[in-house]
């Protein structure tokens, strides 16, 4: 993969902007389109990579290998990158940071977890998704939007999110849900070597993000917690969430020794 130009594109990977390398790791839908609003904001200050997860991956290790190739593409074979993961992407980002600490400059984990509990919810989700006609998925998303999205996100943004993530596949969803039944890095959290920012939505009804973030921040050595007040699980399309500003505030706070 060539990384000489300021923008690179292939079927699964897009790179734009200049500056410190940064990778956005997709959530459960796997498309990477949840970041569509943030990518433009981040690319003003960072060399930003977005990509789609491989639906055929059967292990978290396979997805970690894919993420390593994305980091190589945006940062070269030796430079480190900021890695930002949302929900399932946060689990993948934690797994990557543990497998390749030398490639992570900083880690940002959004509405995620070191272990998904209770596990019976995963089994119910897998069973329900198996029997759900895939054509009904956009309707299901619209019906559950009030529980998943931030209350200040306009309906037109919710509709846009549903439209841009239509490329998500049933097999991809099911495969990633199955991976979470075997995912558990709780005992390895003290090994996370990079500075880590945990972002947790206050009103997350899908994942107990705040509870999980509080658990992780006490175990990851160089960790900071920031609560996203008034936000739901799908918060990155909300007009008052700017990851670039959040990153700058966090990094400025770390350098000055004050809390962000």
pLDDT digits (tens, 9 = 90+) for 149-176: 888 788 888 888 888 888 899 999 999 9
**Beta-carbon neighbour count of residue 121 at 10 Å?**
14
Give domain limits for the chain.
Answer: 8-256
Give helix 88-99 / helix 60-75 axis angle, nearest 10°: 80
Q: Tell me the sheet residues that pair with 148.
A: none
d(CA 99, CA 198): 19
What pLDDT digit, counting tens, does each position of 26-69 carry?
999 999 999 999 999 999 999 999 999 999 999 999 999 999 99
Average pLDDT, the chain: 91
Closest C-alpha to 177, from 64, 66, 31, 58: 58
What pLDDT digit, counting tens, does each position of 199-245 carry?
999 999 999 999 999 999 999 999 999 999 999 999 999 999 999 99
For 17, list phi and psi in degrees, rounded to 5. 90, 175
Statement: 8-256 belongs to CATH 3.40.50.1820: yes
The structure tokens listed for 162 are: 């549903």
What pLDDT digit, counting tens, does each position of 81-95 carry?
999 999 999 999 999
Q: What is the pTM of this model?
A: 0.91
pLDDT of residue 256: 55
pLDDT of residue 149: 84
Q: Is the peptide bond before 210 cis (omega within 30 degrees of 0)?
A: no
pLDDT tier at 255 (50, 70, 90 boundaries)?
low
Total count of residues recorded for the chain = 260
The structure tokens listed for 235 are: 């918060």
d(CA 102, CA 43): 23
Distance from chain centroid for Cα 53 = 11
């Amino acid at each position: 993969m060539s990384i000489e130009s300021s923008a690179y594109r292939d079927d699964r990977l897009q790179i734009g902007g200049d500056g410190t390398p940064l990778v956005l790791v997709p959530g459960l839908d796997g498309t990477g389109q949840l970041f569509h609003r943030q990518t433009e904001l981040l690319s003003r200050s960072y060399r930003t990579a977005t990509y789609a997860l491989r639906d055929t991956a059967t292990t978290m290790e396979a997805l970690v290998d894919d993420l390593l190739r994305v980091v190589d593409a945006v940062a070269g074979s030796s430079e480190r990158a900021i890695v930002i993961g949302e929900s399932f992407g946060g689990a993948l980002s934690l797994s990557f940071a543990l497998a390749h600490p030398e490639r992570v400059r900083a880690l940002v984990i959004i509405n995620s977890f070191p272990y998904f509990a209770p596990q019976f919810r995963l089994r119910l989700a897998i069973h329900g998704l198996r029997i759900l006609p895939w054509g009904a998925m956009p309707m299901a998303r619209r019906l559950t939007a009030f529980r998943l999205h931030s209350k200040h996100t306009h309906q037109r943004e919710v509709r846009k999110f549903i439209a841009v993530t239509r490329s998500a596949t049933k097999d991809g969803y099911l495969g990633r849900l199955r991976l979470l039944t075997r995912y558990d890095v709780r005992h390895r959290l003290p090994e996370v070597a990079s500075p880590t920012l945990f972002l947790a939505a206050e009103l997350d009804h899908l994942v107990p993000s705040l509870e999980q973030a509080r658990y992780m921040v006490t175990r990851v050595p160089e960790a900071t917690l920031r609560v996203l007040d008034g936000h739901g699980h799908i918060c990155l399309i909300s007009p008052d969430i700017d990851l670039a500003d959040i990153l700058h505030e966090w990094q400025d706070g770390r350098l000055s020794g004050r809390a962000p």
